[in-house]
Chains A and B, each alone.
Chain A
Amino acid sequence: MQLTDLTMLELAEKLAAKEVSSEEATRASLARIQQVDPKVRAFLRVDEAGALAAARASDARRAAGSPAGVLDGVPLGLKDLFLTEGVETTAGSRLLEGFVPPYDATVVRLLKEAGLPLVGKLNLDEFAMGSSNESSAYFSCHNPWDLSRTPGGSSGGSAAAVAAREVPGALGTDTGGSIRQPAALTNTVGLKPTYGRVSRYGVIAFASSLDQPGPMTRTVADAAALLQVIARPDVQDATSSDAPVPDYSADLEAGVRGLKLGVPREYFTEGMDPEVEASIREALREYERLGATLVDVSLPHTKYALATYYLIAPAEASSNLARYDGVRFGKRAQDARSLRDVYTLTREEGFGSEVKRRIMLGTYALSSGYYDAYYLRAQKVRTLIREDFTRAFQQVDALLSPTSPVPAFKLGEKVEDPMAMYLMDIYTLPCNLAGLPGLSVPCGFTKAGLPVGLQILGRPFDEAGLLRIARAYEREHDFFRRFAPL
């Protein structure tokens, strides 16, 4: 067994036992990246020097008997949406090419304090807008399970890097499913915490009221351990919650006996791939066998979620992206002759088509005369969607559904059809609108060998419950032991 085959906690154990050093583990990760990333294209940038320096510092702490925590020395990858001081951060956009942030995102600071060497910045859809990683301005990322297919998006680079065992874990961000959907498509675990659980400070904003960073790992226990590091109230994020942070690993093995698990009717309708549905149905039966009770529930406003999301997210994005104007950082159009030129040419040249499409949508939705009809109405529907969930969680402990309606699709397959692409997030985005935690756990493979993910949605701040439910299933079917053929 190679070092890169280990999960985060398995590696942590070996580090603790001093069977291996962080420098060795980090070098193994760097070597694996060198070996497979030319095919996977998960990394936009590798910070070899920074990662090795952090690894050696970790080893020194370990030698001195004072490791910074359980994961001290375990290498990690970061979606290139997290600002890293001194390391170029582009959000997958040409506009930010060459942008070297002067500060670390709060979660990056927490990871550094916990001693995790950060090996590099991972590919993503530009400004996290997309479901296939094909709107990255640099290059598309490939699914390690089938290199002709997408790993999903927007955290596709993070998912692919973990699935390809280039890093044992990574951070992604989830605005409408961007952690869970790629996790489902790559046989990895993706956790989108409750809105406010993890600080957004220093994470390049897509849609402020929906964005949430979270862990992407191979196992549920790794997700719990990684969440433990980054879940923290943050005075620099006014939307961060000061709810106490529990021990996410404590009840991981408690099982699901006696739990009521809701099966939302509206999530099992047409449009779902039959093989995906079969895997999910099988998972539901497994939960019954494990002692949970399945409850048929209804989330009646689900059908409006997609439309609501595609008003609110672009509206916020159109405003959040206004700062990329060529005046202070990133690229500036060279031919600009006037202030107006600086703005228009910089944005024309710097943004890709998906970003432009969403800025246009958002600007339209917010413009006077349309605000009431679109944005305001979307906010009202958002409240109804949230209330659907509140009612459901009075009956059940969590909800189960597919994560993605289809397994990984071919690169290029949906590029010309934005609507088809938007439908990829149909099961994931209601959770963001409601601010709830959601998790995707591997639940099998199609006949063609493509991973399928099971989504578990929970009450606000019940990440521990989701992890426990996911772990119960993972214990029976350790799909994470199956490796992508690379």
Chain B
Amino acid sequence: MPVSDFQPVIGLEVHAQLLTQSKIFCGCSTAFGAEPNRNTCPVCLGMPGVLPVLNQRVAEFAVRTGLALECTIRPTSVWSRKNYFYPDLPKGYQITQFDQPICEHGRLVIDTPQGEKTIRILRIHMEEDAGKSVHDAGGGQSLVDLNRAGVPLLEIVSQPDLRDSDEAVEYLKAMRDVLVYLGVNDGNLEEGSFRCDANVSVMPKGSTTFGQRCELKNLNSFRFLKQAIEYEIARQVDVIESGEKVIQETRLWDVNKGVTRSMRGKEDAHDYRYFPEPDLPPLHVSAEAIDAAAKALPELPRAKLQRFTSQYGLPAYDARILTAERPLADYFEACAGHYTDYKKLSNWFLGELMRLLKEEGTPLSALRFTPAQLAELLVAVDQGTVSANAGKDVLGEMFRSGKSPADIIAEKGLAQVSDTGAIEAVVDDILAKNAGEIEKYRAGKKQVFGFFVGQVMRAMKGKGNPALVNELLKKKLGD
């Protein structure tokens, strides 16, 4: 059977680092990039005698995320210990949630070529991150950096509802958008603060029994996720085709070779010996706290996208880009309060504004002009005070200097010339110098019209009102 006769089944486990200032069970900083072991204390080092104390922000963030993903929030959730030995796991166990996680039974809607699809969320739980080992650092030794130990993580586990790599990527992107919108995660895949594991299996099309699954660990880019899943699907189909059985195991994506390879098999699967964490009482979340968190939820990316198309009449393409990040969407809405040709406003955003932001590497929050000033510029273009092209230069100057558009137009003499007499003089001059071209035009070579327009505009240093230039040229050429 070819690959197309098989149905892949995919579930994702997303690990998101929460944007708290301090760690989950102590007061140490969560800042990235500090000198090794700088952000540590007896608690996160797992010294004898230490006890964990929950950072309440972590629970707040978990509840917020659970509500955004339409989960049920458990009034009482329980902490557990997951026991295993690892050099960068200071206590010899990880504090996590096991059989009674804080959030359960949610969903996330994604777009697929067949339309919307709901991916069910099995559970969301909180846990602490481990440190990291640095191998062969000092003369063949391994060193341990525990700065990350105790950094709060949210693990979001989907049901195996995804059916191909594109859906998986779409789900991961949508999840990232939601978490970033909620302000609970920075969505940074490179620094590992947003990463995922994928559970992949295949079954013959039409089957209702899932195949044996493999877990692909630590996929830290959308591209790797897609590649790893596709490789793994093909590999599993090959295994089945050759009459063998897929064995349950954990596999790693080898970025350089473009293959997945076995990390550990079921035979040496850990017995984590979970049991309720005796140092932490069960976590209670009151109905009032859940209500308050629900009321404080921001509009989520998908709802915002739908509103941008309905409220502003924008094409889906524009709305998607404008709502991809909350600051951009907010800025757009601020401008829309001053300027009502939303499609034109969107064009300026998608074109000039985003180009400038990208070229200068400036975040939106650092913009030096106000939404009202941007609107003022667009009105000036509409009214013909300045040409569209000159308007772009004005925006660039606003971007750099923060001056008002009116000041820039005045200072740089960019005001558009709409004086018919002045334009007519230039038109006459250009026509007089190009008798040959006039002949060609009159002989039917209509493209030459553009040449005349260009000449006139150049002579006027771009300030001629294009509509008037066109009109006068046509008149003089006898059209």
Q: Spell out A's residues near B (CB within 8 Å).
A: 83, 89, 91, 96, 99, 101-103, 105, 200-205, 207-209, 235-239, 315-316, 318-319, 321-325, 327-329, 339, 343, 363, 366-368, 371, 375
Contacts and interface: CB of A to CB of B under 8 A. Distances in A.
Nearest to A240: B51
A89 B48 contact: yes
A230 to B, nearest CB: 15
A304 B395 CA distance: 81
B49 A101 contact: yes
B51 A322 contact: no
Given A238-B280, A323-B90, A323-B91, A367 B271 contact: yes
Nearest to A105: B49
B49 A203 contact: yes
Interface in B101-157: 142, 144
Contact of A327 (B47, B51, B53, B87): B87
Contacts of B90: 323, 328
A238 B49 contact: no
Interface in B199-233: none
A239 B91 contact: no
B273 interface: yes
The 8 residue pairs across chains A and B that have the minimum distance between CB atoms: A322-B92, A208-B278, A366-B273, A209-B278, A202-B49, A204-B48, A83-B49, A323-B46
Given A323-B90, A325-B92, A371 B49 contact: no
A237 B42 CA distance: 14
A132 B50 CA distance: 27
Interface in B386-421: none
Contact of A328 (B45, B49, B81, B273): B45
A200 B51 contact: yes
B52 interface: yes
A318 B45 CA distance: 19
Interface residues of B, number: 29
A367 B49 contact: no
Nearest to B52: A238
Interface string B36-57: 0000001001111111111000
Interface string B242-279: 00000000000000000000000000000101110011
B145 to A, nearest CB: 12
A415 to B, nearest CB: 26
Nearest to B133: A339
Contacts of A200: 49, 51
Contacts of B54: 238
A475 to B, nearest CB: 38
Given A238-B279, A371-B275, A322 B47 contact: no
Contacts of A202: 49-50
B49 A339 contact: no
B313 interface: no
A102 B273 contact: no
Given A327-B144, A368-B271, A83 B48 contact: yes
A200 B85 CA distance: 24
B48 A201 contact: no
Contacts of A328: 45-46, 90, 144
Contacts of B93: 319, 322
B83 interface: yes
B48 A101 contact: yes
A180 B416 CA distance: 96
B85 A322 contact: yes
B454 interface: no
B351 interface: no
Contacts of B337: none
Contact of B42 (A103, A205, A208, A235): A103
A226 B45 CA distance: 31
Contacts of B52: 238
B75 interface: no
A343 B86 CA distance: 9
25 contacts: A89-B48, A91-B48, A105-B49, A201-B50, A201-B51, A202-B50, A203-B49, A208-B279, A236-B51, A237-B53, A238-B51, A238-B54, A316-B278, A319-B92, A319-B93, A321-B92, A322-B92, A323-B48, A323-B91, A325-B85, A328-B144, A329-B47, A339-B87, A366-B274, A368-B271
B327 interface: no
B51 to A, nearest CB: 5
Nearest to A234: B51
B315 interface: no
A363 B273 contact: yes
Q: Which of B46, B54, B271, B273 has most chain A Cβ within 10 Å?
A: B273
A236 B45 contact: no
Given A238-B280, A238-B281, A239-B279, 15 more contacts: A99-B48, A101-B48, A201-B50, A201-B51, A208-B279, A236-B53, A238-B52, A238-B279, A327-B87, A327-B144, A366-B83, A366-B274, A368-B273, A371-B275, A375-B275
Contacts of B48: 83, 89, 91, 96, 99, 101, 204-205, 323-324, 329
A323 B49 contact: no
Contacts of A343: 85
Contacts of B273: 318-319, 363, 366-368, 371
Nearest to A200: B51
A208 B49 CA distance: 10
Interface in B1-57: 42, 45-54
Nearest to A376: B275
A375 B45 CA distance: 28
Interface in B164-202: none
Q: Which of B142, B274, B275 has most chain A Cβ within 10 Å?
A: B275
B83 A322 contact: yes
Nearest to B46: A323
Nearest to A199: B51
A236 B25 CA distance: 10
Contacts of B83: 318-319, 322, 366
A329 B92 CA distance: 13
Contacts of A203: 49
Interface in B269-326: 271, 273-275, 278-281
A239 B46 CA distance: 18
Nearest to A205: B49
A235 B53 contact: yes
A117 B226 CA distance: 65
A237 B51 CA distance: 6
B471 to A, nearest CB: 79
Contacts of A201: 49-51
A325 B83 CA distance: 13
A236 B51 CA distance: 7
Contacts of B271: 367-368
Contacts of B47: 101-103, 329
Contacts of A375: 275
A99 to B, nearest CB: 7
Contacts of B53: 235-238
A235 B55 CA distance: 12
Nearest to B279: A208
Nearest to B25: A238
Contacts of B275: 315-316, 319, 366, 371, 375
A322 B91 CA distance: 6
A95 to B, nearest CB: 10
A359 to B, nearest CB: 11
Contacts of B279: 205, 208, 238-239
Contacts of A102: 42, 47
Nearest to B144: A327
A214 to B, nearest CB: 16
A316 B45 CA distance: 19
A202 B48 CA distance: 7
A321 B48 CA distance: 9
Contacts of A322: 83, 85, 91-93
B38 to A, nearest CB: 15
A327 B83 CA distance: 16
A331 B325 CA distance: 52
A239 B276 CA distance: 13
Nearest to B142: A339
